[in-house]
Amino acid sequence: MKNLLIYILMPIAIIALAFFLINGISEPVRFEQERKFRYDKVTDRLKDIRDVEVAYKARYGVYTGSFDTLIDFFNTGDIKILRQTGSMDDSLAVAQKLVRRDTITVPVRSNLKLRSIHGLFADSLRFIPVVGGEFELRAAVKNVSGVNVPLFEARASNDVVLEGLNRQLVVNINHDVEEINKNLSNVQRYSGLKVGSVDQPNNNAGNWE
Answer yes or no: pTM beyond 0.85: no
pLDDT at 26: 72
List, for residues 153-203, the tens digit of each pLDDT value.
Answer: 999 999 999 999 999 999 999 998 888 888 776 777 899 999 999 998 999
Q: Using CB atoms within 10 A of its CB, is residue 16 exposed (0-12), middle (13-18) or buried (19+)?
A: exposed
pLDDT score recorded for residue 78: 87
Compute the residue count for the chain: 209
Phi and psi angles of residue 78, each rounded to the nearest 5 degrees, phi first:
-140, 160
Asked if residues 9 and 1 have their Cβ atoms less than 8 Å apart, the reply is: no
Q: Are 207 and 194 within 8 A, CB to CB?
A: yes
